[in-house]
Amino acid sequence: MDWGMKNRLSQIIKPDTNRTVMLAVDHGYFLGPTSGLEEPAKTIEPLLPYADSLMLTRGVLRVSVNPGSSTPIVLRVSGGNSILGEDLSKEAITVSVKDAIRLNVSAVALSIYVGSKYEHQTLKNLATLVSECEEYGIPVLAVTAVGKEMVRDARYLSLACRIAAEIGAHFVKTYYCEDFQKVVKTCPVPVVIAGGKKIAEKDALKLAYNAVKDGAVGVDMGRNIFQSKDPVGMIKAVRQIVHENAKPEDVFRSLKL
């Protein structure tokens, strides 16, 4: 890995703890105005000081984040589908690497849909993106998105994460599952977990705790932060778990729910 690539990656995965709290607000790319993200700027602004990086689309970045911000950006560069479309897995690369560089991003993110109808297309997207990003030292985050019918178990998620890493993703975003240690152990690049659908705050904090205990370098969490009654309290609590190994029951007490 060259210096630029390592430098960008260390803007996201903090070298002092080797962990990261990424804030995901990219949901609109196929879900439209997701609950809690109707006005992205208003959601993002109070959370930004506590995020190690912000994952979002270029459209929202341009109008919702102050260019003076020093928070590293992980730019979603795949899409082209919607929740109403033919098949969620029918994604393309939607942003050129040139535009990602112009936006001064620290990494780019793309979804792969292993086992879905357009699996091949999404894996080819990943290969193309990695090859282009290698030229400029930009890390690629592969998101192991799952179709409605896919089971989120260790066998499936290990398969998806490993394929992403073999194609050249520099880090991988996946879901927490039973036997998650196996997913991490068989994936040669760092793994972060998505939060998934909104669950009780106590459970989301346990999820983050278990994920890092089982080897994840952190979280790329969205709905369980910005849909909480106390989004700022929630991201602060997640930070304590991820960076300080705090216990979920201890940080839960500080939430204003």
Q: Binding marks (x or -) toward ligand 5RP, 60..89, rule CB under 6 A? A: ------------------------------
27 binds ligand 5RP (CB under 6 A): yes
Among 69, 196, 230, 255, binds ligand 5RP (CB under 6 A): 196
Give the bridge partners for 53, in sequence order. 22
Q: Which residues are catalytic?
A: 173
Alpha carbon distance 68, 108 (integer Å): 20
Nearest approach in angstroms of CB 1 to ligand 5RP is: 24
Which H or E run includes 169?
Answer: none
Q: How many residues does the chain have?
A: 257
Q: Which residue stretch of 22-30, 41-49, 115-123, 184-192 sits at the interface with ligand 5RP (rule: CB under 6 A)?
A: 22-30
- Give the number of other Cβ atoms within 10 Å of residue 45's Cβ: 13
Selected from 11, 53, 64, 111, the binder of ligand 5RP by CB under 6 A is 111
The stretch near ligand 5RP (CB under 6 A) out of 19-27, 100-108, 121-129, 246-254 is: 19-27
Among 12, 145, 161, 208, binds ligand 5RP (CB under 6 A): 145
223 near ligand 5RP (CB under 6 A): yes
Tell me whether residue 187 or residue 194 sits nearer to ligand 5RP (CB atom). 194
- By CB under 6 A, is residue 221 in contact with ligand 5RP? yes
Closer CB to ligand 5RP, residue 109 or residue 184?
109
Nearest distance from C-beta of residue 226 to ligand 5RP, angstroms: 8
Q: What single-letter amino acid sits at 83?
A: I
Burial grade of 148 (CB within 10 A; 0-12, 13-18, 19 or more):
exposed
**What is the gyration radius of the CA atoms in the chain, in angstroms?**
17
CB of 186 to ligand 5RP, least distance (A): 21
Q: Which residues of 113-146 are buried (b: 16+ CB within 10 A; e: fewer)?
A: bbebebbeebbebbeebbebbbeebbbbbbbbbb
Give the up-direction half-sphere exposure of residue 180: CA atoms within 13 A in the CB hemisphere: 20
- Residue 8: its H or E element: helix 3-12
What is the contact surface with ligand 5RP in residues (CB under 6 A)?
24, 26-27, 55, 111, 143, 145, 194-196, 220-224
